[in-house]
Amino acid sequence: MRFKSTVLKELVDQTVVCIGWTGNDEIIIGRSDSSISKWSQATKENIKLCDLSDQSYPIDLHMLSNTQRLINKTTGIEQILITSSNGKLHLMSKTSKIDKSIDAHEGNVTVGRWSPDGSTLLTAGEDGCIKIWSRIGMLRTKLVINGEPILSADWNSDSSKIVYTQHDMLCIKSLKANIKPIRILGHSDIILKVSWCKANEFIVSGGEDCYYKIWDAYGNSIFVSDKLAYPVTSLNWKSDGNLLVVSYYNTILLCNQYGIILSTDYVDCGSVNTLCWSPDGTQVAAACANGKLMVSTLIERSVSEQNFNCLITSRKRMIVKDILNETKENLDFPERIIHVAMKYNHLIVTTCTQCFVYQMPNLNTPQIINLKDTNVFMINLTKKYFAVFSLNSVNIYTFDCKLVSSPKWPNMQCDVLQTNHVSISDHVLAVRDQLNDKMVHVFEIMPLSTLQTIKHGFSVTDIQLMSTKSQDKRFLALIDSSMNIFIVHIGHNNEKSKTYKLGSMFHSMCWNNQTESLAALQYTNLIVWYDPLLLLNDQILVRKALEKSDLSFYGNKLSIESYWDNVVSMINTDSVKISVQVSPYLEAMKNYIGANKWMDCQNVCRNVNNEAMWALLAGSAVLAKQLDTAEECFLAIGQNERATFIQHIKTLSDKTVQESSLALLTGNTSEAESILLRNGYTFKAVMFNVQIYNWKRALELALKHKKYLQIVIYERRNYLEFYKKQETSDRFLKYSDMEINNEDVLKEIEKENQQN
């Protein structure tokens, strides 16, 4: 992945000072001759918009994005914020005049930034002040007052904090009162630029000491670059946080989110004063020190799936290779390529105005969709559908290009969506809320309906829907900020979702495309649960039915990209891809279980002789009521008490009691009790709760059926006497004066046992 840069000399008569992208592939340019102009990438026309006052020139320029205007329900007014050398801030729309000019600072106003929610803006200047203004330019507060000039500042994702530079100090300041700011000695010389990523909350800074550094939101160091040849003059995050662009003299660096350099582009432009990503994240505009405007396009992006590989070689050309057949196809498009996605034997390509759908390996006759919303940020594929995430909408299509549904949710901001915050299966779409990171919105795809929103206790960092043919199996795996991994059973309609904790200290995961197994990274260990849904019934078996691999050789910052067949593909911080093979017998075992071929399952386990396989078969056999198979499995994994209990179940002649015991074997106590009650076994239900010390439920059943109260009180008193405890439950204290004849109670228990 690298940039292909073009210096647009023919556009510029005067020095370009500041730039900003609009949502229509247009660049707003501020020049040293005090003029503001607009250049269209589609028509190649340069149109002058207006002039500032004769005694000033623009210094900084920032666009209010379409998403920010949608959140605040505003139209196209006052979208452009311009700061100038005479201490003013200017608000203007795309028309040819300044709407409002305000005296903001003494001297140059070095920084002007809209907040991510579009409701406020900040300015900073050479006078050492940072001021917060309303959207229409009313002063709200002087947030920072000091004697040092402030050269750069930026907002965090929720508009609650800002980061700014003060000579060699990096400062993080909250807008809330009485919160002490964080001050860090960031560099050994003046810090020139700072940028706060809205997606991953990382801060990057660069300065005259020739370093760029990445920090977290609390000022902890994450990455420090090697010393560069010249001072870092500009840098900027891509909106989704996956890429970072850094520039110094005659050089532009493309880095991943960890700061590792992916490519180096050498250009003859001097130092770059300003870098700005295009809304679709495929281009970067640069205001250069030689007075020229430069546009760099992201090329050599690649997508792979099984034996196919797609490589974008230029703005409008792509090469598709079939590695097995050693064939190569060149695909040319009428417009610039924006996004490419390939999965399930389909290739989806979006350009500025169209979406092309190819069915592999046929690349001759694609189906074409004309896009209403041209700003596409993401494409996700399932076996049945593909979803196109645009600025104002999410559209889900079949591969025949028929629109299926268009889900919407509160706080919808697709431009800041990360790939691990959205997941789609053949039946369900799940998206993490863009403002409240503890909420996950869930939708039924067809027919479109909103399901119960998942509300988690901590910030959700990763979500993955299980891919399955069954519409009843709706499970979501999620990882939160505490690095705990959970399995969420998504209910139908307004049914509440149920959450089960699977493990701790995990940071990346992926479901298998066929076997419903789950792979996750626990630091440098790869954990593969053969069937994480066993967690719903048996927490012991799910901890045994897993495979563990030590990957410390590849570093400690791996992330999982895919889990196809029996291969888990990962990538490290240096963008090196790593493939790890898991048990090749897992798919065969799952197929045998699905076909009820229990003898074949046993033969596989006997030949492999692996505890994880035996545990997987044990859980599946219990659910299928295959007692002989389950007994052998429990003996193989050392669960002798369960094998003995199965032998006891085989001796039971009463079918109801046998079914209840089977439910108890899976750990489903509520189902075991309900089976007894449905068939009129009230006494056994009461005694069942007594035996598991569920005294509250036992008393509740006795009072409800108006029977066996004395038996419950008798058993409760024996329990307290044996453990030498005092009665503390208000429910049982009511019956502390009840006189009970022990002989009569024992006779009643014996009589009930004989009847049942």
Instruction: Please write the tens of the pLDDT for every residue from 499-534.
Output: 999 999 999 999 998 888 999 999 889 999 999 988
According to the model, what pLDDT value does residue 707 have? 86
According to the model, what pLDDT value does residue 285 have? 92
For the cut 70, the answer to whether the pLDDT of residue 14 exceeds it is: no
According to the model, what pLDDT value does residue 666 have? 76
CB atoms within 10 A of CB 289: 15
The region of weakest confidence among 1-5, 8-12, 593-597, 701-705 is 8-12
Structural tokens at position 307 = 């034996």
Three-class SS of 96-156 = CCEEEEEECCCCCEEEEEECCCCCEEEEEECCCEEEEEECCCCEEEEEEECCCCCCCEEEC
According to the model, what pLDDT value does residue 632 have? 93
According to the model, what pLDDT value does residue 391 have? 78
Residue 331 phi/psi, 5° resolution? -110, 120
Taking only the tens place, the pLDDT of each residue in 458-475 is: 999 999 999 877 667 889
For residues 430 and 428, give the distance between their C-alpha atoms in angstroms, rounded to a whole number.
7
Cis peptide before 361 (omega within 30 of 0): yes
* H or E element, residue 291: none
- Hey, CA dihedral for 89, 239, 406, 352, is it positive or negative? positive
Which residues in 190-271 belong to E strands, given as ranges?
191-196, 203-207, 212-215, 221-224, 234-237, 243-248, 251-256, 261-266
Q: Label the pairing between strands 354-359 and 346-351.
A: antiparallel
For the cut 70, the answer to whether the pLDDT of residue 444 exceeds it is: yes
Q: With contact defined as beta carbons under 8 Å apart, do 237 and 246 qualify? A: no
For residues 278 and 259, give the distance between their C-alpha atoms in angstroms, rounded to a whole number.
20
For residues 415 and 390, give the distance between their C-alpha atoms in angstroms, rounded to a whole number.
8
Alpha-carbon 742 to chain mean position: 62
Taking only the tens place, the pLDDT of each residue in 182-240 is: 999 999 999 999 999 988 889 999 999 999 999 999 999 999 999 999 999 999 999 88
Structural tokens at position 664 = 């108890």
Query: Which residue has tokens 């995961």?
Result: 509
CB atoms within 10 A of CB 599: 9
For residues 282 and 502, give the distance between their C-alpha atoms in angstroms, rounded to a whole number.
38
Residue partners of 734: CB distance under 8 A and separation at least 6: none
- What number is the average pLDDT over the span 729-745? 85
- What number is the average pLDDT over the span 321-331? 89
Taking only the tens place, the pLDDT of each residue in 123-148 is: 999 999 999 999 888 999 999 998 78
CA neighbor of 105 nearest in space, from 121, 83, 120:
83
According to the model, what pLDDT value does residue 693 have? 87
Of 703 and 94, which is predicted with more confidence? 703
Residue partners of 14: CB distance under 8 A and separation at least 6: 31, 32, 33, 35, 291
CA neighbor of 380 nearest in space, from 361, 362, 395:
395
Q: With contact defined as beta carbons under 8 Å apart, do 47 and 19 qualify? A: no
pTM, to two decimals:
0.84
Q: Identify the band that residue 10 occupies on the pLDDT scale cut at 50, 70 and 90.
A: low
For residues 98 and 43, give the distance between their C-alpha atoms in angstroms, rounded to a whole number.
24
Q: Identify the band that residue 79 occupies on the pLDDT scale cut at 50, 70 and 90.
A: confident
For the cut 80, the answer to whether the pLDDT of residue 493 exceeds it is: no
Domains annotated on the chain, with CATH: 301-406 (2.130.10.10)
Q: Identify the band that residue 78 occupies on the pLDDT scale cut at 50, 70 and 90.
A: very low
The 8-class DSSP code of residue 696 comes to H
CA neighbor of 675 nearest in space, from 622, 666, 684, 646:
684
Structural tokens at position 77 = 């007014």
- What number is the average pLDDT over the span 662-681? 84
Decide: residue 78, CB within 10 A, 0-12 exposed, 13-18 middle, 19+ buried. Answer: buried
- What number is the average pLDDT over the span 718-723? 89
Residue 339 phi/psi, 5° resolution? -135, 150
The 8-class DSSP code of residue 483 comes to -
Write down the mean pLDDT value for the chain: 88
For residues 528 and 545, give the distance between their C-alpha atoms in angstroms, rounded to a whole number.
9
For the cut 80, the answer to whether the pLDDT of residue 12 exceeds it is: no
For the cut 50, the answer to whether the pLDDT of residue 76 exceeds it is: no
Count CA atoms within 13 Å of residue 750 on its CB side: 6
The 8-class DSSP code of residue 314 comes to S
For the cut 90, the answer to whether the pLDDT of residue 440 exceeds it is: yes
Q: Which amino acid is at 745?
A: V
According to the model, what pLDDT value does residue 593 have? 92
For residues 511 and 641, give the distance between their C-alpha atoms in angstroms, rounded to a whole number.
33
CA neighbor of 565 nearest in space, from 550, 580, 548, 545:
580
For the cut 60, the answer to whether the pLDDT of residue 68 exceeds it is: no
Beta-ladder partners of 560: 570
CB atoms within 10 A of CB 426: 16
- What number is the average pLDDT over the span 257-284? 89
CB atoms within 10 A of CB 528: 24
For residues 424 and 431, give the distance between their C-alpha atoms in angstroms, rounded to a whole number.
9
Order across the sheet with 327-332: list the strands: 302-305, 308-312, 317-322, 327-332
For residues 136 and 77, give the distance between their C-alpha atoms in angstroms, rounded to a whole number.
10
- What number is the average pLDDT over the span 274-280? 89
Beta-ladder partners of 432: 440
Instruction: Please work out, in degrees rounded to the nearest 5, the angle formed at the alpha carbon of residue 166 by the alpha carbons of 164 and 170.
Output: 55
Q: With contact defined as beta carbons under 8 Å apart, do 173 and 165 qualify? A: no
According to the model, what pLDDT value does residue 7 have? 77
- Hey, CA dihedral for 227, 230, 236, 240, is it positive or negative? negative
The region of weakest confidence among 73-77, 352-356, 360-364, 599-603 is 73-77
Q: Identify the band that residue 612 occupies on the pLDDT scale cut at 50, 70 and 90.
A: very high
Structural tokens at position 1 = 């992945």
For the cut 90, the answer to whether the pLDDT of residue 392 exceeds it is: no
